[in-house]
Structure 1
Amino acid sequence: MPNITLKHVNKSYDKNATNAVSDLNLEIGDGEFMCLLGPSGCGKTTTLRMIAGLENLTGGEIAVGDRVIDSIGKGVFVPPEQRGMGLVFQSYALWPHLTIEKNTDFGLRLRKVPKAEREERVNLVMKKLGIEQYRDRYPSQLSGGQQQRVALARMLAVNPEVLLLDEPLSNLDARLRLEMRTELKRIHGEFGTTIVFVTHDQWEAMTLATSIAVMHDGTLQQVGTPNDIYDRPANRFVAEFVGSPPINIIDQSPGNSRITDASRQYLKEYFPAISGADSLGLRPENIKLASQISDVPADHFAEEAFVAAILPTGGSWIIEVMVDDHKLFLTVNEPPQVSVGQQVWFHTSPAFMHLFDSDDQRLTAADDVIAEFCAAGESCAPSAAKAS
């Protein structure tokens, strides 16, 4: 299927209200697994429904390749059933009085597909999704994860060019969510279907998507691969929304705190060419601890702190340290070698610093300066920092 292109798309439910979606420009490639990620009310479900044709645009245009499917200016609106897209709702919407087999072939019967072809396609998709043994059961006799597979099978049986998923895993428990993430990843690989997936769960987006579009207050914040979104967030909102525990932010206003003064002095000493930094972000997994300053690499940013709490999470630990009244969180994957109340030095490589300006936008010029600096020193490299 050709690319799906959204150009300057707007959606408002009230002419006097703030747009639910504002000036959205987005391109979804053929065979892509695109996640629309953001908090509740950010416009991601509205965007999905406009692609599906369940919501009319207030302005802008949606096109599939060269074919415009929705445009106020051009007076074009292609109804949902003619768009070649399948939609799976948060509620699975299975027919309770039909067997699993009848639910799966429901769309094919509506399209009057010949019986032999219908049976072949239903058998194939049920086998691939591991639900063929349930064909004579009813939805009430299946678990939530099994019902989810039936809802997916019903859509895949009609062979849609695009599969639209609106938070389909939110009703499942943690174990089933993990299983269904794996299932969706496999389905995408096997069927090659273009998938647009709406979620507020950052880990679903990071583990499933080939591309993520982060939204906030109806506007697009950043589009990129999961690694792009995590390693080079375009602004503070993206940096703080993606990551658990969330990124540590250090204000760069003069005299704000001891850690502020220390970070400002560090940047001034090692990176005098950097200007305009209003805040500094440090991911928890990129902060290390040392018992004494002599154990800290010379070019790392470091400051003395004390350990306020150690929180085990199963396979890892979250450590809270305090620099005066400023909290920092870091994570480790091995039992901590520190104890609560202990004085330590936290430190991090400049390679892991995220700098933002007064408009909360990423200072990309600072990235270039730091990259050039790190290229000249071994201890600045990520691998060395992790070992410190």
Structure 2
Amino acid sequence: MPKITLRNAEKSYGGTAIKAVRDLNLEIGDGEFMCLLGPSGCGKTTTLRMISGLEHLSGGQISVGDKVVDCVASGSFISPEKRGMGLVFQSYALWPHMTIERNTDFGLRLRKVPKAERQARVDKVMKTLGIEKYRDRYPSQLSGGQQQRVALARMLAVNPDVLLLDEPLSNLDARLRLEMRAELKRIHEEFKTTIVFVTHDQWEAMTLATSIAVMSEGELQQVGTPNEIYEQPANRFVAEFVGSPPINIVEMGEGKAEPLSGLVKSYLSKAFPQIDAIGSVGLRPEALGFVQDAAEVPQGAMEGGAQVTGVLPTGGSWIIELRAHDTKLFLTTHKPPVVAEGDQGFFFVRPEAIHVFDSHGKRNVSADIQLRGDAETTAKTAKARLSA
């Protein structure tokens, strides 16, 4: 399947100036598992429907390889059934009066695929998804997770070039969601199908995708691998949306500064002279540490006094709530904490784990480079001391 390209794609409804999707430029490569991630109303489902052909563009162009499938300027449009794409909706949309086998081969019958080939395809996909023993049952006799597998089997049986999934796991309970995530990952590896997956669940995106496109209010915020999205968020929105517990934000801007900002400014000013260009700083909970002896703070780390105000077990990990300079901070740990509410000590964070944003919320790349450089220098110095 050639890559799917959206160029300046836009969508508005009813001729209003409010656009559901604005000036979207995005490329989805052959065999890629792309997740469109964002909160409700950000335009991700609209984007999926434009790719499928269920929505006409209000502006821009969508092409598949060298073939333009929708272009406002030229007036060209290829209907959904001719795009070689399969769409799985949030609701399973199974035929209640048909058996699971008939639901699975429905698309093949419409395409008039010969019986022997149809049977072979259905057998293979039902076995792959573990639903072959339900072939003579009806949808009402299956659980939600089993029905979801049938909906996927129906699409996979016709072997679409692209599989479009619109929040297909949102109706499942936590255990089934986990099982279906693993199933989708395996399907992608086995069938090599290009998948575009819409979700508001960051963990689904992080665990499934080869690349993630984060959207907000109809605009694309960042495209990257799960690690890039998490470790190098392009702006504050991405940093705050991806991560659980959410990233700690220390406001630095004039009129918004928090009590902790003075300590942060003092630390950053040594590495980053343009301190006035910083609007806020982000500290991931898992990047924070807490010790009760100042001598245990790693060399070169930013540190400050803090008091434990809460210890929250989550099952397998713990969230520790701190108050530092009248600012609330959260840190996470997988080790049973040896502190209790009311304990005094020191929080710390290594320089390379500090996310710096300007007054508009955009990531400050030059500060990143400087902080990482200082971290490398500190590490080399510590290694030299150990060698000596």
Q: Is the 8 A contact 1:9 1:22 kept in 2?
A: yes
> What is the Cα deviation at residue 95 of structure 1?
0.4
Q: Deviations over 1:344-366 (max 9, x none)?
A: 10001001010000110000111
Distance 2:276 2:211 in 1: 31
- Matches for 1:324-363 after TM superposition, within 5 Å: 324-363=325-364
Residue of structure 1 in register with 2:286 after alignment = 285
Residue of structure 1 in register with 2:155 after alignment = 155
> What is the Cα deviation at residue 273 of structure 1?
5.9
Q: Give unmatched runs, 5+ long, in structure 2.
A: 383-388
What's the TM-score, normalizing by structure 1?
0.96
Distance 1:253 1:19 in 2: 31
Q: Deviations over 1:356-388 (max 9, x none)?
A: 00110000111111122122122899xxxxxxx
Q: Is the 8 A contact 2:253 2:278 kept in 1?
A: no
- Matches for 1:85-234 after TM superposition, within 5 Å: 85-234=85-234
Q: Is the 8 A contact 1:163 1:194 kept in 2?
A: yes
> What is the Cα deviation at residue 323 of structure 1?
1.8
Q: Is the 8 A contact 2:271 2:370 kept in 1?
A: no
Residue type at the aligned position of 1:129: L
Residue of structure 2 in register with 1:322 after alignment = 323
Residue of structure 1 in register with 2:65 after alignment = 65
Q: Equivalent residue of 1:125, what SS?
A: helix
> What is the Cα deviation at residue 94 of structure 1?
0.3
Residue type at the aligned position of 1:99: T
Distance 1:94 1:379 in 2: 61
> What is the Cα deviation at residue 330 of structure 1?
0.4
Distance 1:51 1:40 in 2: 19
Distance 1:264 1:379 in 2: 25
Distance 1:271 1:164 in 2: 45
> What is the Cα deviation at residue 312 of structure 1?
0.3
Q: Deviations over 1:68-97 (max 9, x none)?
A: 000111111100000000000000000011
Q: Equivalent residue of 1:93, what SS?
A: coil
> What is the Cα deviation at residue 243 of structure 1?
0.1
Q: Is the 8 A contact 1:350 1:380 kept in 2?
A: no
Query: Is it true that 1:312 corresponds to 2:313 in the alignment?
Result: yes
Q: Equivalent residue of 1:249, what SS?
A: strand
Q: Is the 8 A contact 2:285 2:331 kept in 1?
A: yes
Count of residues in Structure 1 that have an aligned counterpart in Structure 2: 381
Q: Is the 8 A contact 1:21 1:47 kept in 2?
A: yes
Q: Is the 8 A contact 2:9 2:62 kept in 1?
A: yes
Residue of structure 2 in register with 1:385 after alignment = none
Residue of structure 1 in register with 2:262 after alignment = 261
> What is the Cα deviation at residue 297 of structure 1?
2.1
- Of 160-169 and 17-26, more deviation after overlay is shown by 17-26
Residue of structure 2 in register with 1:364 after alignment = 365
- Of 264-273 and 67-76, more deviation after overlay is shown by 264-273
Q: Deviations over 1:23-49 (max 9, x none)?
A: 000000000000000000000000000
Distance 2:50 2:129 in 1: 28
Q: Is the 8 A contact 2:306 2:346 kept in 1?
A: yes
Q: Is the 8 A contact 1:300 1:380 kept in 2?
A: no
Q: Deviations over 1:137-159 (max 9, x none)?
A: 11111111111100000000000
Residue of structure 2 in register with 1:54 after alignment = 54
Q: Give unmatched runs, 5+ long, in structure 1.
A: 382-388
Q: Is the 8 A contact 1:210 1:225 kept in 2?
A: yes
Distance 2:364 2:215 in 1: 20
Residue type at the aligned position of 2:310: A
Distance 1:379 1:259 in 2: 29
